[in-house]
Copies of this chain bind each other. A is one copy, B any other.
Amino acid sequence: MAKKDVAVGIDIGGTNTVFGFVERDGKILADDSIKTAHYEEVEVYIAALYEKIMVTAHKLGNDVNIIGFGVGAPMGNINKGTIEHAADLPFKGVIPFAEIFNRHTDLPVIVTNDANAAAVGEMIYGGARGMKNFVVITLGTGLGSGFVIDGKLVYGHDGFAGEIGHTAIRPGPSNRDCGCGRKGCLETYVSATGLKRSLLKIMADSLQPSELRKYSFEELDSKMIHDAALNGDYIAKRAFTHTGRMLGFKLADVVAHTNPEAIFLFGGLALAKDLIFEPAKEYMEENLLSIYKGKVKLLASELSTQNAAVLGASSLVWSSREPN
Protein backbone atom coordinates (compact mmCIF):
# COMPACT_ATOMS: atom_id res chain seq x y z
CA MET A 1 0.00 0.00 0.00
CA ALA A 2 1.26 3.49 -0.85
CA LYS A 3 2.11 5.65 2.12
CA LYS A 4 -0.19 8.57 2.89
CA ASP A 5 1.46 11.98 2.60
CA VAL A 6 0.85 14.09 5.69
CA ALA A 7 1.97 17.53 6.78
CA VAL A 8 2.55 18.17 10.46
CA GLY A 9 0.79 21.33 11.65
CA ILE A 10 2.14 22.82 14.87
CA ASP A 11 0.35 25.52 16.84
CA ILE A 12 2.54 27.18 19.45
CA GLY A 13 0.66 28.97 22.20
CA GLY A 14 1.83 30.48 25.45
CA THR A 15 0.41 27.57 27.42
CA ASN A 16 0.29 24.61 25.05
CA THR A 17 1.88 23.54 21.81
CA VAL A 18 -0.54 21.43 19.80
CA PHE A 19 0.36 19.43 16.72
CA GLY A 20 -1.46 17.24 14.24
CA PHE A 21 -0.75 14.94 11.29
CA VAL A 22 -2.89 16.33 8.51
CA GLU A 23 -3.77 14.90 5.11
CA ARG A 24 -4.24 17.14 2.08
CA ASP A 25 -8.02 17.22 2.55
CA GLY A 26 -7.74 18.43 6.14
CA LYS A 27 -8.26 15.09 7.80
CA ILE A 28 -6.29 14.93 11.04
CA LEU A 29 -4.95 11.41 11.51
CA ALA A 30 -3.53 12.01 14.99
CA ASP A 31 -2.77 14.90 17.30
CA ASP A 32 -1.18 15.58 20.65
CA SER A 33 0.45 18.43 22.58
CA ILE A 34 3.17 19.48 24.98
CA LYS A 35 3.17 22.26 27.56
CA THR A 36 5.02 25.27 26.15
CA ALA A 37 5.07 26.91 29.55
CA HIS A 38 7.08 24.04 31.03
CA TYR A 39 10.18 24.95 29.05
CA GLU A 40 12.62 27.79 29.53
CA GLU A 41 15.20 26.89 26.93
CA VAL A 42 14.04 26.83 23.37
CA GLU A 43 16.47 24.08 22.30
CA VAL A 44 15.12 21.77 25.00
CA TYR A 45 11.54 22.71 24.12
CA ILE A 46 12.06 21.98 20.42
CA ALA A 47 13.80 18.69 21.17
CA ALA A 48 10.88 17.64 23.39
CA LEU A 49 8.37 18.74 20.76
CA TYR A 50 10.15 16.84 18.00
CA GLU A 51 10.38 13.77 20.21
CA LYS A 52 6.65 13.86 20.97
CA ILE A 53 5.85 14.26 17.27
CA MET A 54 8.01 11.24 16.46
CA VAL A 55 6.32 9.18 19.17
CA THR A 56 2.95 10.05 17.67
CA ALA A 57 4.23 9.24 14.17
CA HIS A 58 5.39 5.87 15.45
CA LYS A 59 1.91 5.12 16.78
CA LEU A 60 0.47 5.92 13.35
CA GLY A 61 2.66 3.15 11.97
CA ASN A 62 4.49 2.86 8.71
CA ASP A 63 1.81 4.03 6.34
CA VAL A 64 2.37 7.80 6.71
CA ASN A 65 5.01 9.89 4.99
CA ILE A 66 5.73 13.27 6.57
CA ILE A 67 6.35 15.90 3.89
CA GLY A 68 7.11 18.86 6.15
CA PHE A 69 6.29 20.91 9.22
CA GLY A 70 4.12 24.03 9.30
CA VAL A 71 4.37 26.12 12.43
CA GLY A 72 2.05 28.83 13.73
CA ALA A 73 3.55 30.88 16.56
CA PRO A 74 3.08 34.34 18.04
CA MET A 75 5.44 36.69 16.19
CA GLY A 76 6.33 33.91 13.78
CA ASN A 77 8.02 35.26 10.67
CA ILE A 78 7.50 33.52 7.34
CA ASN A 79 10.45 35.19 5.67
CA LYS A 80 13.05 34.17 8.22
CA GLY A 81 11.60 31.12 10.00
CA THR A 82 12.00 32.99 13.27
CA ILE A 83 9.87 33.74 16.31
CA GLU A 84 10.76 37.27 17.40
CA HIS A 85 10.16 38.85 20.80
CA ALA A 86 6.96 36.89 21.48
CA ALA A 87 5.46 38.38 24.62
CA ASP A 88 3.49 35.28 25.51
CA LEU A 89 6.16 32.64 25.11
CA PRO A 90 8.84 31.73 27.64
CA PHE A 91 11.50 32.15 24.92
CA LYS A 92 12.75 35.72 24.61
CA GLY A 93 14.51 37.57 21.82
CA VAL A 94 14.82 36.35 18.24
CA ILE A 95 14.41 32.55 18.10
CA PRO A 96 15.65 30.88 14.88
CA PHE A 97 12.93 28.27 15.18
CA ALA A 98 13.22 26.65 11.76
CA GLU A 99 16.99 26.47 12.04
CA ILE A 100 16.87 24.74 15.45
CA PHE A 101 14.06 22.44 14.33
CA ASN A 102 16.10 21.48 11.27
CA ARG A 103 18.79 20.07 13.55
CA HIS A 104 16.33 17.19 13.98
CA THR A 105 15.07 16.85 10.40
CA ASP A 106 15.92 17.77 6.83
CA LEU A 107 12.26 18.28 5.90
CA PRO A 108 10.94 21.79 5.24
CA VAL A 109 9.94 23.81 8.33
CA ILE A 110 7.68 26.79 7.58
CA VAL A 111 6.92 29.29 10.34
CA THR A 112 4.26 31.99 10.50
CA ASN A 113 2.17 33.91 12.98
CA ASP A 114 -0.26 31.54 14.75
CA ALA A 115 -3.21 33.75 13.91
CA ASN A 116 -2.14 33.78 10.25
CA ALA A 117 -2.14 29.99 10.37
CA ALA A 118 -5.61 30.02 11.93
CA ALA A 119 -6.82 32.39 9.18
CA VAL A 120 -5.56 30.03 6.48
CA GLY A 121 -7.23 27.13 8.29
CA GLU A 122 -10.51 29.05 8.45
CA MET A 123 -10.27 29.91 4.76
CA ILE A 124 -9.55 26.39 3.55
CA TYR A 125 -11.46 24.24 6.01
CA GLY A 126 -13.73 26.53 8.09
CA GLY A 127 -16.36 29.26 8.01
CA ALA A 128 -14.42 31.55 5.69
CA ARG A 129 -14.65 29.16 2.73
CA GLY A 130 -15.61 31.31 -0.26
CA MET A 131 -14.76 34.59 1.47
CA LYS A 132 -12.14 36.88 -0.05
CA ASN A 133 -11.79 39.48 2.73
CA PHE A 134 -11.90 38.52 6.37
CA VAL A 135 -10.03 38.71 9.64
CA VAL A 136 -9.42 36.02 12.23
CA ILE A 137 -8.84 37.08 15.83
CA THR A 138 -7.33 34.42 18.08
CA LEU A 139 -8.11 34.77 21.75
CA GLY A 140 -5.72 32.71 23.81
CA THR A 141 -3.10 33.66 26.37
CA GLY A 142 -2.63 36.67 24.09
CA LEU A 143 -4.52 38.10 21.11
CA GLY A 144 -3.45 37.40 17.55
CA SER A 145 -4.88 38.40 14.20
CA GLY A 146 -4.66 37.25 10.62
CA PHE A 147 -5.86 39.33 7.67
CA VAL A 148 -6.99 37.85 4.39
CA ILE A 149 -7.43 40.32 1.53
CA ASP A 150 -8.51 39.34 -1.96
CA GLY A 151 -8.21 35.69 -0.98
CA LYS A 152 -4.60 35.97 0.14
CA LEU A 153 -3.09 36.05 3.59
CA VAL A 154 -1.41 39.41 4.30
CA TYR A 155 2.21 38.94 5.40
CA GLY A 156 3.36 42.55 5.05
CA HIS A 157 6.72 43.92 4.01
CA ASP A 158 8.70 42.30 6.83
CA GLY A 159 6.45 39.26 7.32
CA PHE A 160 4.87 40.62 10.49
CA ALA A 161 1.41 41.80 9.44
CA GLY A 162 -1.50 41.20 11.81
CA GLU A 163 -0.20 41.96 15.29
CA ILE A 164 -3.21 43.96 16.44
CA GLY A 165 -2.90 42.44 19.91
CA HIS A 166 -0.25 45.10 20.27
CA THR A 167 -2.20 48.10 19.14
CA ALA A 168 -3.07 50.58 21.87
CA ILE A 169 -6.48 50.45 23.43
CA ARG A 170 -5.81 53.93 24.80
CA PRO A 171 -2.90 56.36 24.89
CA GLY A 172 -1.17 57.60 28.01
CA PRO A 173 1.08 56.19 30.68
CA SER A 174 -1.47 54.89 33.20
CA ASN A 175 -2.34 51.64 31.50
CA ARG A 176 -1.75 47.97 31.87
CA ASP A 177 1.76 46.66 31.32
CA CYS A 178 2.03 44.38 28.32
CA GLY A 179 4.46 41.49 27.97
CA CYS A 180 5.84 43.26 24.88
CA GLY A 181 7.26 46.02 27.08
CA ARG A 182 4.64 48.60 26.14
CA LYS A 183 1.49 49.65 27.95
CA GLY A 184 -2.23 49.44 27.27
CA CYS A 185 -2.04 46.99 24.35
CA LEU A 186 -5.30 45.41 23.23
CA GLU A 187 -4.25 41.99 24.49
CA THR A 188 -3.81 43.31 28.05
CA TYR A 189 -7.61 43.66 27.97
CA VAL A 190 -8.78 41.11 25.42
CA SER A 191 -7.26 37.68 26.05
CA ALA A 192 -7.49 35.00 28.72
CA THR A 193 -5.02 37.00 30.79
CA GLY A 194 -6.79 40.28 30.06
CA LEU A 195 -10.05 38.75 31.30
CA LYS A 196 -8.35 37.81 34.59
CA ARG A 197 -6.89 41.30 34.95
CA SER A 198 -10.30 42.87 34.36
CA LEU A 199 -11.85 40.46 36.84
CA LEU A 200 -9.40 41.56 39.52
CA LYS A 201 -9.99 45.21 38.78
CA ILE A 202 -13.76 44.80 39.03
CA MET A 203 -13.34 42.69 42.17
CA ALA A 204 -11.28 45.51 43.66
CA ASP A 205 -13.84 48.18 42.81
CA SER A 206 -17.00 46.27 43.67
CA LEU A 207 -18.46 45.00 46.94
CA GLN A 208 -20.55 42.33 45.19
CA PRO A 209 -19.97 38.81 46.48
CA SER A 210 -18.29 36.38 44.13
CA GLU A 211 -17.26 32.76 44.42
CA LEU A 212 -14.08 33.80 42.61
CA ARG A 213 -12.90 35.93 45.54
CA LYS A 214 -11.40 32.82 47.10
CA TYR A 215 -8.98 32.18 44.23
CA SER A 216 -5.61 33.79 43.65
CA PHE A 217 -4.68 35.44 40.37
CA GLU A 218 -2.48 32.47 39.58
CA GLU A 219 -5.23 29.99 40.39
CA LEU A 220 -7.81 31.72 38.21
CA ASP A 221 -8.32 30.85 34.55
CA SER A 222 -10.80 31.89 31.92
CA LYS A 223 -12.71 28.60 32.18
CA MET A 224 -13.40 29.28 35.89
CA ILE A 225 -14.55 32.81 35.10
CA HIS A 226 -16.70 31.44 32.29
CA ASP A 227 -18.34 28.87 34.59
CA ALA A 228 -18.92 31.49 37.29
CA ALA A 229 -20.52 33.84 34.75
CA LEU A 230 -22.86 31.07 33.60
CA ASN A 231 -23.79 30.56 37.27
CA GLY A 232 -24.79 34.22 37.46
CA ASP A 233 -21.69 35.53 39.24
CA TYR A 234 -21.93 39.32 38.89
CA ILE A 235 -18.21 40.03 38.83
CA ALA A 236 -17.46 37.28 36.35
CA LYS A 237 -20.22 38.55 34.06
CA ARG A 238 -18.91 42.12 34.33
CA ALA A 239 -15.41 40.93 33.44
CA PHE A 240 -16.73 39.27 30.27
CA THR A 241 -18.79 42.33 29.35
CA HIS A 242 -15.77 44.59 29.77
CA THR A 243 -13.58 42.26 27.72
CA GLY A 244 -16.18 42.04 24.96
CA ARG A 245 -16.63 45.79 24.86
CA MET A 246 -12.91 46.46 24.57
CA LEU A 247 -12.78 43.93 21.76
CA GLY A 248 -15.79 45.43 19.97
CA PHE A 249 -14.40 48.93 20.33
CA LYS A 250 -11.18 47.86 18.66
CA LEU A 251 -12.87 45.79 15.96
CA ALA A 252 -14.51 48.99 14.73
CA ASP A 253 -10.96 50.26 14.09
CA VAL A 254 -9.99 47.03 12.34
CA VAL A 255 -12.96 47.37 9.99
CA ALA A 256 -11.89 50.92 9.08
CA HIS A 257 -8.53 49.59 7.93
CA THR A 258 -9.46 46.78 5.55
CA ASN A 259 -13.29 46.60 5.44
CA PRO A 260 -13.63 42.83 5.83
CA GLU A 261 -16.76 40.82 5.11
CA ALA A 262 -16.46 39.00 8.42
CA ILE A 263 -14.40 38.79 11.58
CA PHE A 264 -13.97 35.34 13.10
CA LEU A 265 -13.27 34.89 16.79
CA PHE A 266 -11.29 31.84 17.62
CA GLY A 267 -9.78 30.32 20.74
CA GLY A 268 -10.61 29.78 24.38
CA LEU A 269 -12.42 33.04 25.04
CA ALA A 270 -14.52 32.68 21.89
CA LEU A 271 -16.01 29.52 23.42
CA ALA A 272 -17.75 31.77 25.96
CA LYS A 273 -20.17 32.58 23.09
CA ASP A 274 -22.76 35.22 24.01
CA LEU A 275 -20.76 36.29 27.05
CA ILE A 276 -18.14 37.69 24.70
CA PHE A 277 -20.00 38.01 21.36
CA GLU A 278 -22.90 40.12 22.62
CA PRO A 279 -20.89 42.98 24.14
CA ALA A 280 -18.34 42.75 21.31
CA LYS A 281 -21.01 42.99 18.62
CA GLU A 282 -22.82 45.81 20.43
CA TYR A 283 -19.69 47.92 20.89
CA MET A 284 -18.39 47.20 17.42
CA GLU A 285 -21.65 48.37 15.86
CA GLU A 286 -21.84 51.38 18.16
CA ASN A 287 -18.35 52.47 17.14
CA LEU A 288 -18.51 51.63 13.43
CA LEU A 289 -18.57 54.41 10.92
CA SER A 290 -22.04 54.52 9.35
CA ILE A 291 -20.87 53.12 6.00
CA TYR A 292 -19.93 49.87 7.76
CA LYS A 293 -22.82 49.53 10.21
CA GLY A 294 -24.76 46.27 9.99
CA LYS A 295 -22.49 44.94 7.23
CA VAL A 296 -19.64 43.16 9.00
CA LYS A 297 -20.34 39.69 10.37
CA LEU A 298 -18.89 38.78 13.74
CA LEU A 299 -18.68 34.98 13.72
CA ALA A 300 -17.34 32.12 15.75
CA SER A 301 -14.65 30.08 14.08
CA GLU A 302 -16.09 26.89 12.60
CA LEU A 303 -12.95 25.03 13.48
CA SER A 304 -12.26 23.58 16.89
CA THR A 305 -9.83 25.48 19.07
CA GLN A 306 -7.39 22.63 18.73
CA ASN A 307 -7.62 22.38 15.00
CA ALA A 308 -7.69 25.72 13.21
CA ALA A 309 -4.07 26.73 13.59
CA VAL A 310 -2.90 23.14 13.21
CA LEU A 311 -4.83 22.83 9.94
CA GLY A 312 -3.68 26.26 8.79
CA ALA A 313 -0.08 25.56 9.68
CA SER A 314 -0.17 22.22 7.90
CA SER A 315 -1.64 23.88 4.81
CA LEU A 316 1.45 26.10 4.61
CA VAL A 317 3.42 22.97 3.84
CA TRP A 318 1.07 21.82 1.10
CA SER A 319 0.89 25.24 -0.51
CA SER A 320 4.69 25.56 -0.50
CA ARG A 321 4.83 22.46 -2.76
CA GLU A 322 2.24 23.67 -5.22
CA PRO A 323 2.50 26.33 -7.94
CA ASN A 324 0.64 29.57 -7.21
Is there an interface contact between A258 and B257, defined as CB atoms closer than 8 Å? Answer: yes
Is there an interface contact between B252 and A164, defined as CB atoms closer than 8 Å? Answer: no
Nearest-CB distance from A313 to chain B (Å)? 20
Q: Report chain B residues within 8 Å CB of A160.
A: 259, 291-292
Q: Is A105 an interface residue (CB 8 A)?
A: no
Q: In the assembly, what is the distance between CA of A157 and CA of B296, in Å?
A: 9
Nearest-CB distance from A235 to chain B (Å)? 22
Is there an interface contact between B254 and A85, defined as CB atoms closer than 8 Å? Answer: no
Q: Report chain B residues within 8 Å CB of A132.
A: 157
Nearest B residue to A258 via CB reads B161
Chain A 143-187 interface residues, beta-carbon cutoff 8 Å to B = 147, 149-150, 152, 154-164, 166-171, 180-182
Most chain B CB atoms below 10 A, which of A77, A156, A167, A292? A156
Of B77, B182, B259, B289, the residue contacting A182 (CB under 8 A) is B289
Q: Is A23 an interface residue (CB 8 A)?
A: no
Is there an interface contact between A152 and B150, defined as CB atoms closer than 8 Å? Answer: yes
Q: Report chain B residues within 8 Å CB of A168.
A: 249, 252-253, 287
Is there an interface contact between A291 and B163, defined as CB atoms closer than 8 Å? Answer: yes
Nearest-CB distance from A244 to chain B (Å)? 14
Chain A 205-222 interface residues, beta-carbon cutoff 8 Å to B = none
Chain A 252-273 interface residues, beta-carbon cutoff 8 Å to B = 252-254, 256-261
Is there an interface contact between B260 and A166, defined as CB atoms closer than 8 Å? Answer: no
Write 28 A-B pairs (CB below 8 A) sorted by A numbering.
Answer: A75-B291, A132-B157, A147-B257, A147-B258, A149-B154, A149-B156, A150-B152, A156-B259, A157-B259, A157-B261, A158-B261, A158-B291, A158-B295, A161-B257, A162-B259, A163-B259, A163-B289, A163-B291, A164-B253, A167-B252, A167-B253, A167-B257, A168-B287, A180-B290, A181-B290, A182-B289, A253-B253, A258-B258
Given A164-B257, A168-B252, 11 more A-B residue pairs with CB atoms under 8 Å apart are A77-B291, A85-B290, A158-B292, A161-B259, A162-B256, A162-B259, A163-B259, A163-B291, A167-B256, A168-B249, A180-B289
Tell me the A residues contacting B by CB distance below 8 Å: 75, 77, 84-85, 132-133, 147, 149-150, 152, 154-164, 166-171, 180-182, 249, 252-254, 256-261, 287, 289-292, 295
Closest 6 CB pairs of A and B: A156-B259, A157-B261, A161-B259, A167-B253, A133-B157, A166-B289
